[in-house]
């Protein structure tokens, strides 16, 4: 069983984009991905 505080394997892009859209900000923000496949998840975010 996976521990609740362990990193996800990959980003859940639809959940992330829902969160991101609710930020309602015009400035630039930094986002850190705490996932196992950081590069692939980053590319998913860029494509979205």
pLDDT in tens, 2-39: 676 678 899 999 998 998 889 888 888 888 888 999 89
What pLDDT, on a 0 to 100 scale, did the predictor assign at position 2? 67
If we measure between CA atoms, which residue out of 26, 29, 46 comes closest to residue 38? Answer: 46
Task: Identify which has the larger pLDDT, 29 or 1.
Answer: 29
Rg (CA), the chain: 12
Residue 47, pLDDT score? 92
């Amino acid at each position: 069983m996976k521990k609740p505080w362990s990193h996800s394997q990959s980003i859940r892009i639809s959940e992330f984009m829902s969160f991101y859209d609710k930020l309602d900000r015009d400035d630039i923000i930094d986002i850190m991905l705490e996932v196992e496949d950081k590069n692939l998840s980053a590319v998913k975010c860029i494509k979205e």
